[in-house]
């Protein structure tokens, strides 16, 4: 099992950068304090996804931070990503562990139902995404809004690293950490910010203070 010490997790796509260059936004975010990145391209072809993943991998390598690929194991393997993030409707973590036979890869798994905490998929995962903590326009096909109480409940049921995602903002991240999350994952609070470096810097300071 890998050691997961990351605190600010950027989940990024070209579309979420709203016309800005995705690599430039990612670079600014890393400079501001993002310490792990996920490429989440829900509508790209495999070729487009791979091209973007290779660009982001080069950037992540430059700053020595892990690149995680959302959903697509083929792309993750092809670009030699640090890991993959999957949810309830994706390839299950235990299967990924068997197929991607490399011990040091990070597998993230979304928790949408409390019952998932007792299945073999969660055992195979390195971290759990609490998905979503609060409702968000960035992802609307969600099941449970966990809230702060949900984080506290899950914290009592597992020692796995917990990543909070869903409407994470400067004014709620400290409460989310205090409720038991280990790391904060954001899309729009950084990708849509007029100054992504400052947005990341402020979030990181709020998380670690
Ligand atoms: C860190 C993190 N947590 C949760 C998710 C959501 O994953 P999933 O439920 O598979 O939904 P999609 O992202 O595939 O729409 C995530 N991507 N990252
Ligand atoms: C990918 C994902 N999974 C659960 S919520 C979410 C989107 C989070 O986006 P934002 O940070 O803009 O609320
Ligand atoms: Mg998914």
The predicted pLDDT at position 139 comes to: 97
Q: How confident is the model at residue 83 (pLDDT cuts 50, 70, 90)?
A: very high
186 in contact with ligand 2, CB cutoff 6 A? yes
187 in contact with ligand 2, CB cutoff 6 A? yes
User: Percent of the chain beyond pLDDT 70?
Assistant: 100
Is there a domain that residue 125 lies in? Answer: yes
Domain count, the chain: 1
Is there a domain that residue 142 lies in? Answer: yes
CA of residue 130 to ligand 1 center, whole Å: 9
**Residues 194-207 pLDDT 10s:** 999 999 999 999 99
Contact predicate 39/26, CB 8 Å = no
CATH label of the domain that carries residue 120: 3.20.20.70
How buried is 65 (Cβ within 10 angstroms: 0-12 exposed, 13-18 middle, 19+ buried)? middle
11, 24, 188 from 164: Cα distances, Å = 12, 25, 14
**Residue among 29, 68, 69, 136 whose CB has most ligand 2 atoms within 8 A, to mutate:** 136
pTM for this model (two decimals): 0.98
- Domain range enclosing 59: 8-198
CA of residue 66 to ligand 2 center, whole Å: 19
Among protein residues, the one whose CA lies closest to atom 10 of ligand 1:
87
Q: Is the bond preceding 132 in cis, omega lying within 30 degrees of 0? A: yes
168 in contact with ligand 2, CB cutoff 6 A? yes
CA of residue 188 to ligand 1 center, whole Å: 14
Is there a domain that residue 1 lies in? Answer: no
Please determine, for residue 101, whether its predicted confidence score (pLDDT) is greater than 90: no
Is there a domain that residue 205 lies in? Answer: no
The DSSP-derived string for 35-74 is: -EEEE--SS--HHHHHHHHHHHHHHHHHTT--EEEES-HH
Please determine, for residue 1, whether its predicted confidence score (pLDDT) is greater than 90: no
Q: Which alpha helices (DSSP H) does 145-195 contain, by range?
A: 147-157, 173-179, 188-191
Is there a domain that residue 209 lies in? Answer: no
ipTM for the complex shown = 0.99
Is there a domain that residue 207 lies in? Answer: no
Is there a domain that residue 203 lies in? Answer: no
């Amino acid at each position: 099992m890998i050691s997961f010490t990351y605190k600010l997790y950027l989940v990024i796509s070209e579309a979420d950068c709203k016309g800005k260059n995705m690599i430039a936004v990612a670079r600014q975010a890393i400079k501001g304090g993002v310490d792990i990145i996920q490429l989440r391209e829900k509508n790209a072809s495999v070729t487009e996804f791979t091209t973007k993943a290779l660009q982001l991998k080069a950037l992540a390598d430059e700053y020595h931070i892990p690149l995680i690929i959302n959903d697509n194991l083929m792309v993750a393997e092809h670009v030699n990503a640090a890991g993959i993030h999957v949810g309830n409707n994706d390839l299950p973590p235990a299967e990924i562990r068997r197929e991607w036979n490399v011990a040091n890869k990070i597998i993230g798994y979304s928790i949408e139902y409390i019952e998932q905490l007792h299945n073999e998929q969660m055992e195979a995962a390195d971290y759990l995404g609490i998905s979503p903590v609060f409702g968000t326009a960035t992802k609307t096909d969600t099941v449970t809004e966990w809230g702060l109480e949900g984080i506290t409940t899950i914290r009592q049921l597992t020692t796995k690293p917990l990543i909070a995602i869903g409407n994470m903002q400067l004014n709620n991240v400290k409460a989310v950490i205090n409720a038991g999350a280990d790391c904060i994952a954001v899309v729009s609070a950084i990708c849509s910010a007029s100054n992504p470096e400052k947005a990341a810097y402020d979030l990181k300071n709020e998380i670690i203070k």
